[in-house]
Structure formats: C-alpha cells, structure tokens
Amino acid sequence: MTSLQISYFLKTAECMSFSGAAQALYVTQPSVSRQIKLLETELGYPLFDRTRKNALRLTAEGIIFRDAFSQIQRQYTLAQDLARDLSGRSPMALRVGVGSGWDLSRELTQARREIEARFPQARIIFESQDFRELRRQIRDGESDVILCTKTSLMDFDGLEVAEIANLESRAYVRKGLLRPTGEDLTASDFAGQQLLMLTESESPMAMELALLQFQARQVTVFPRYMPNRESILQALLLGEGVTVFDQYVRFSGDPRLDWFNLEDDIPICLVWNEGNRNPLIRLFADTLIRGMEEPLSDPNS
C-alpha cells in the first residue's frame, strides 16, 4: 500500500469517476484504475461497485476505507506541517509542568538532552507545581504539557493523555514503627494504621485506590487527608501513620523510612490540550517513554 494508491482512491471516491479523478490528478485514467486495483488486491476487498455503467459507487468496504484513509491523510498532512515547523530555524519552546514531590530529574534531563541535541532551536522548560496548580495551568494554557499521576486528573474532556510508565506502589512507614529495624515488612503489619494521603482536591483518586490496595490484602487502614507531601513526611516521621507513593517520591530514599511493595501500578501520564499543536509535545512524549522503558531502579540507591 502506498500513499499514491491512497491518494488515487480518495480522489476517485470524491469524484465518483475514474476519468474525473484522472483529470483532477493530471494523470491518465488507466494509471488511476491500475493503482486502485493494486490497492483492492492488497486489502482483499473491492472498494468500488463497477456493475453499473457510468454509475460508480463505493462498496460497504470502500466506505470504511475511505473514512479511514481520509483520517490518515489528514494526520499525514498535519505531521508534515509540524515536522516543517520543528525543522525550521525559529526558536521553539515546550513548557513542561511536573508534579512536585517527584525526583524524575534523570529521565527528564535525558529527554531534554536528546531533543535539544537533535533540534538546537528547541528549548524544554520545566516547572514544578502541585497537581491542582498543574491542572489549572494546562486548562489556562500556561503550560504546554504536564507530567502527573493518572489519579490526579479530575476529567479528561478536551485533553490528550499519553501514559508514560507504570511505577511501583509502595507503602511507606517510619523505620522501626511496625517491626524492629532490619526485619522485612508484611502487608498485615499495616493493619489499624492511619493512611496519610493527599486531599481529593490535589489527587482525586489517590486515597480510594490506596484503600483498595490494602483491602485486597484483607488489611484495614483508616483514611486521613493531608494538605501536601511535606505534611505527610512530617507525620510519617512522627509515627502517625503510613502512606502510599511510588519509588520516585522525593522522600523514598530517606533513611528514616521503610517501605513495602504493594505490587500494584501507579500510572504516570503526559497531558496536554487537544488543540495544542506544538510539535515538541509528541517528540517529548515519545522520548520520555523510551527513557522510562529502561529498567527502573530506585533513583536514590
């Protein structure tokens, strides 16, 4: 299947005439007919009903492929325009909002280094904010793209979402609180503890999903909302409860804390407005996904 075959098919479907398509494309009619026949052979379906003289019609399969190929052609044209912009000489910036409390510096730095090496005119600018502020910034157009957990999104209307990676779900607790230091934690050790999590306005689904993880292990914990990650860390160190975060939370390497792997995933995503045509968005997403596909070691080890 070639772009030439698709173009000839779409023009014929528009004109509903082989001769009309040939005239519009400035080629001969046999050339149009031959390319469409090759396309039909490859697809395995007749695209046009040729049984009526001078009354060409699309078959049911032809209608399906016309719609599909039209979309592909639109995306191809858009990609050409974006690639032309990206390869131009004008400076181009991508503003990336990153959830506060994370340490993804290695992955983000590597993605920026790769992109700016390929496109010297590109600039990737990072800014750290809490999830509530990130949601406002992406809605108001103050950021091109935000990096956040999927649990922090309240609605997806008008947004494009690309899942970047699934991180470990870890239950953190002050070292020595549930078991003597050096002994391995078990799920049952967390029974009866307060579960310290961010508020619903900050991360709407975090508490619910964390509770479900403990319930799946027949462990009862009691929810307690905290205003921010710093408050959670302080409460952990005071022995006031436990929390659930991934391995990239900044306090994951604190020697005063211990953790238990809940063996569930925490998906993190890049999110942007559907109408944002900044060509660096997709490039950044693909580059970051490749970087996150490498074995995820503990960033603080």
Residue 63 inside a domain? The answer is yes
CATH code where residue 108 lies? 3.40.190.10
Residue 198 inside a domain? The answer is yes
Residue 298 inside a domain? The answer is no
Q: How many domains does the chain have?
A: 3
Contact status, residue 211 vs residue 195, Cβ threshold 8 Å: yes
Backbone angles phi, psi at 159, to 5 degrees: -115, 145
56, 71, 86 — which closes off a domain?
86
User: How does pLDDT run across 135-185, given as a tens digit for each residue?
Assistant: 889 888 899 999 988 888 777 788 888 888 889 999 999 999 999 988 999
| Domain interval for residue 31 | 3-86
60, 86, 112 — which closes off a domain?
86
Arithmetic mean of pLDDT, 244-263 = 94
- Whole-number Å distance between alpha carbons of 12 and 81: 25
**Confidence check: pLDDT of 233 > 60:** yes
User: Quick one: 237 and 178 in the same domain?
Assistant: yes
Query: E-assigned strands of the chain?
Result: 48-49, 57-58, 92-99, 122-129, 145-149, 159-174, 194-198, 222-226, 243-245, 257-273
**Confidence check: pLDDT of 10 > 50:** yes
Backbone angles phi, psi at 93, to 5 degrees: -120, 150
User: How does pLDDT run across 188-227, given as a tens digit for each residue?
Assistant: 999 999 999 999 888 888 999 999 999 999 999 999 999 9
Among 47, 54, 46, residue whose Cα is nearest residue 13: 47
The model scores a pTM over 0.85: no
Backbone CA torsion sign across 237, 238, 239, 240: negative
**Residue 85: which region, alpha, beta or left (left: phi > 0; alpha: psi -120 to 50)?**
alpha
User: Quick one: 77 and 134 in the same domain?
Assistant: no
User: Quick one: 244 and 222 in the same domain?
Assistant: yes
